[in-house]
Every structure is written in C-alpha cells, then in structure tokens.
Structure 1
Amino acid sequence: MSRLVVVSLNAAVDQTVQVADFRLEAVNRVVSSRDDAGGKGVNVASFLAHVGHEVVLTGLLGDANAALFARHFAAAGITDACVRVPGATRTNLKIIDTLSGAVTDLNYPGLSVGPDALDAVKARLEERASGLEILVLSGSLPRGLPETTYAELTAWGHHRGALVVLDASGAALAAALDAGPDLIKPNRAELEELLGVPLPTAQAVAAAAQRLRARGVGRVVVSMGAEGAVVCDPEGVFLVEPPSVAVVSTVGAGDAMVAGFVHAQGLGMGGEAAARLATGFSLGALGEIGPRLPALARIEALAAQVSVGVLAV
C-alpha cells in the first residue's frame, strides 16, 4: 500500500436523520438519527482505512467537540495528526425522506481560523514528508484561510515527490489548477461553476475536462450522479456508467470515489480499471447510512457491473 496523508481543513459532524414524508413548514417526526465524524477529508481517510491502508490524517478540528473524531479515528485505525483549534467543528445536517428518497442538506459554515492554524498543519505535514507517496487534499476551506491554500499544499506535495489528489470546488479549486494536481474530482455543477458555462452532455463535460488536462492537471474525474462519470486521463477519455442500485444515502458517495481512485493508484491500476473500481466504491457508499462502505468484496462485485467505454469528443 502507498504511504499516504489526507488533509482535512474543514471537517464536520455529519448528522443524518431519517424522516417519513418530510415537509417544510410542518412538524416532522424523526425516525432515526446518527452522528458521524465526517467532512470530505475525514470520509476519504475513513474509506481508505476501511480497505486496509495505513492512513495519516491531518488538518483542523475544533477542540470543543473533538472527542467524537478521536473515537472514530481510534476505531478506524487512522493515525490522528490533526491540529486542535478553539471552537467547535461544524455540523452538517442531512435529512433523508424515507418515503420519497429526497435528501435535504443544511451545511454550517465551520470554524474561523488564522494563518497560525495553517502553519501548524504544515508543520504536521513536514513531520510526515519522508517517503510520502500520495497526498490527498479534500474539502472546503474554513473561514480565514486564503484561496491559495490548496495551491500551496499541492506545490508542497510535488516538491516532496508525492502524487497530489485534490477534491475541492470554487475559488480554492480555481487557484490550485496551475499548481498541476495529479487528480481532481469536481462534480458537474462544480465544473460548470469553475468554467462559467453549462455542460449539458457527457461530451461537453469531457471537452471541459480536456481543457483542464491541457492546463497541467493529470487526471480529471467529473461525477454526474446517476449518469455516471467522465474520466479524462493520459490513457484517454472514458464514460463510466454505473448499474442501477438502491440508494440508501448519498452521504460520502463522491468521497468514496476519490478513495477508490487512490486505492486503485496504490494497486497500480490506471484508465478503465481504476474508473471501474472507483465507481464501485461510490456505489458501495450509496447503500450505507452515513459515510460508510460495505466490505471490499461487495465493492469489487459492484465494480464488476460498471460499464466503461471510450468517449468520443
């Protein structure tokens, strides 16, 4: 397995509640509720640990509710190198209507930090720099950190010989593109926001992904929900089409795809094989409540049902 570090600068407590026939402006009765240590980076680290990777996680956690994360890291086998800062890590509330399957998200803004907090994370990274092979940068930035944060960390990772995987959006993603991350994974809406144009078809998505590859991004993966994903890498442009599966929760599905590509990288996979396996990870997350994955055998069985074809652009 690769020596890898995941950076999570804006973690979250993922609170998932199930409500039958959820309605606005009405009293709703909660059927079940659970709190999970989450946020994109934490999810990626958890999924990689689940399939056997030794994962170091660094980033920022609010000291007021860090105990939930510490318990999760210990149970998952994740090495906790996170910096504690004053305040509480944000809560993201996801309401799942058990009748319709509709999902409503309420995401809190998160911590507000200064440059000293980022300096502390960089110091933790320096402690883990020796032999680093893969650096995963995942999630939004907390208030107070500059938009260039991921560009700086991408350059840091490359300077130390690491492959850099970036899953971000908005200004933080835009600022990092010229640093040449080795893999980015926006969804279609995030890519449309980044480029300022609608992308109504898979061919339009692929053409946009190719433009980003031309700017120096190694592999561009664009998730499109039930329509699958477009993968643009040195081996070609692929349309990845998943089988129809029952969706229990969408929490962490995109993060699972990122973890799947990292796992595939560790196995030496590329192109179609990596796309198929990463989609199996995402499909596995859709069948679980909260940010979780099924057993690796189930993930591989789902991956075997994924169709990957060359996309003409």
Structure 2
Amino acid sequence: KIATVTLNPAIDQTVRVDNFRPNNVNRAHSISFDASGKGVNVASFLADYGHDVAVTGYLGLENVDIFEKFFASKDIDDCFVRIPGNTRINVKVVDEINQQTTDINVPGQTPPQDANYILHQTIEQLSNSCDWFVLAGSLPPHVPTTIYATLISQLKRQKKHIILDTSGEALRDGIQAGPTIVKPNIDELQYLVRHSLKNEAEIQQAAYQLLNEDIELVVVSMGGQGAMLVEQATTLIATPPTVTVKKTFGAGDAMVA
C-alpha cells in the first residue's frame, strides 16, 4: 500500500478562455473545479493503475465535500486531518488556442497546533499498512520548512521508503533527512546546487551530488526535454516523443506516480 502526504492541497478552479488578454475583459467558455495538490494528484494516478492508496495531510472543513467525493469515486483511503476554514482555491486560466496556462496560486490555510500532532499520529498509523510514502507539494503558511525532514526521520525509523517532491527550503531541509527518492525539476535542482545548469552533463553532475547512502535515486523532470534518472551506477535519460502540448499541470505528479 502507498500513502501520499499533501500538507497544502488545493481546489483547482480552471477557467477556459480563448485568446486570453491581460488588462482586458475576457469571456470564459467553461469553468471547472477539481480536487488537487501534488499528493492528491499522485494518489489519483496510482488509484487509476489499481494500487491501494491512502492520502493524508490537512483539509479545510468548509469546502471538504469536493475532496470526499473525489476520494470515494477513486476508492482512495481518506485519512486527511480536518482543520478549520477553507482549503485554498487556485485559479488556472487556460487558453487552448495559444497553448498558454496562467496559474494564480494562493498561500493556503495555516493548520492549528493540535492538527500537527494528529498528522504525526495518522502517519504513524499508516506506517503499519503502507510501505511507500510520497511527501509532496508546498507548505501552508507558518508551517516550519523542517516538517518534511521530521516526517522522513519518523518514517525511516519504521524502515519505510520515501519519495520527496517539494521545493525551496522544504526541499533543502528534507534532503538532509535522506529520503529514498528525490524528484526535483531543473529549477529546483539549480536551487539546491546554487548555480545554473546549462546542459545534460551539468544536470547529471548536480543530481549525482545529491546521492548518498540514503538517497538512492534522483529523478529530474526536464519538461519537454524529458527526464533524467540518476543512481550511483547508472544514469538514464528518457526522451519523450514530440506532441502537441494541451496542458502541463499534473505532469510531474504523473511522473512521481
């Protein structure tokens, strides 16, 4: 069984506008709302492939229905900790004619202190039935950047396998705790090594620097250029076919799954 942890989930409000123009009145031809967040997306893909999946993290009580219906429809084990308030709503403006997507992401809801304790208890309970844990996504406001590192240390004591997919200081701190797999994109990898990466050789070298006795695999997502998988003894580069891009959001989460 696989568990995903999403501390800052979101409802994606997708607004479809042809020939979107900033600083103008734009008319949408459709709008949709979807349960989202990195770990939620990963769980969705895994469930589609028939895996037994559990999800946890923080969910606002005020608009929890969309998540509960989604998890029920996918037969995903809902172990989210409910907190007061609303789960954030992120807006995606999709212009399919020009193949452009504009994202407007909001910070999210700060969980109360007791929710942090309940989360750790929930993850401890999930470790009885789950072998793999995916820690994914940004952090809510005022949550310490060391939280992923704390969870990784907790899970390693239980001999669990851990995938980390986040960014910024949460990524830097989390890597120090030694997850099994890390999945940065090129921007995140550049952030970690503190310099720009101009070609595949430099990307490989930077990814290799992250490997140690705990981190067994670094998977670098490279957008249209594909992906690079770096282990101690092997490097693989996956080059995708040339396709017409419809949308890019969720692609990295599909790779993690």
- TM-score normalised over the length of structure 2: 0.96
- Per-residue CA deviations over 1:124-167 (Å, capped at 9, x if unaligned) read 11222214310110111111211110001111111111100110
Aligned-residue sequence identity (percent) comes to 42
Distance 2:167 2:38 in 1: 12
- Per-residue CA deviations over 1:88-118 (Å, capped at 9, x if unaligned) read 1111111111211011110010011243222
Please name the residue that 1:162 is paired with.
160
Q: Normalized per residue, which structure has more helix?
A: 1
Q: 1:201 aligns with which of 199, 202, 227?
A: 199
Please name the residue that 1:12 is paired with.
10
The residue correspondences of 1:204-215 to structure 2 (distance < 5 A) are 204-214=202-212
What amino acid maps onto 1:132 in structure 2? C
Distance 1:208 1:214 in 2: 13
Distance 1:95 1:191 in 2: 27
Please name the residue that 1:112 is paired with.
110
Distance 2:123 2:212 in 1: 29
SS in 2 for 1:242: coil
The residue correspondences of 1:1-313 to structure 2 (distance < 5 A) are 3-214=1-212, 216-259=214-257
Distance 1:185 1:77 in 2: 26
Distance 1:18 1:161 in 2: 45
Distance 2:166 2:12 in 1: 18
Distance 1:203 1:253, change over 3 A: same
Distance 1:132 1:180, change over 3 A: same
- Per-residue CA deviations over 1:222-250 (Å, capped at 9, x if unaligned) read 11100111110244112211011222211
In the TM superposition, residue 178 of structure 1 has moved relative to its aligned partner by 1.8
- TM-score normalised over the length of structure 1: 0.80
What amino acid maps onto 1:231 in structure 2? L
For the Cα contact (< 8 Å) 1:148–1:176, is it kept in 2?
yes
Aligned residues between the structures: 257
Distance 2:119 2:44 in 1: 19
The runs of at least 4 consecutive aligned structure 1 residues that moved more than 4 Å come to none
Distance 1:111 1:46 in 2: 23
Unmatched tracts of structure 2, length 5 or more: none
Distance 1:90 1:73 in 2: 18
For the Cα contact (< 8 Å) 2:208–2:232, is it kept in 1?
no
Distance 2:214 2:80 in 1: 30
Distance 1:52 1:98 in 2: 31
In the TM superposition, residue 216 of structure 1 has moved relative to its aligned partner by 4.1
What amino acid maps onto 1:109 in structure 2? P
What amino acid maps onto 1:62 in structure 2? G
Unmatched tracts of structure 1, length 5 or more: 260-313
What amino acid maps onto 2:119 in structure 1? V
Distance 2:137 2:60 in 1: 16
SS in 2 for 1:64: helix
In the TM superposition, residue 63 of structure 1 has moved relative to its aligned partner by 0.5
In the TM superposition, residue 214 of structure 1 has moved relative to its aligned partner by 3.8
What amino acid maps onto 2:138 in structure 1? S
Distance 1:115 1:141 in 2: 15
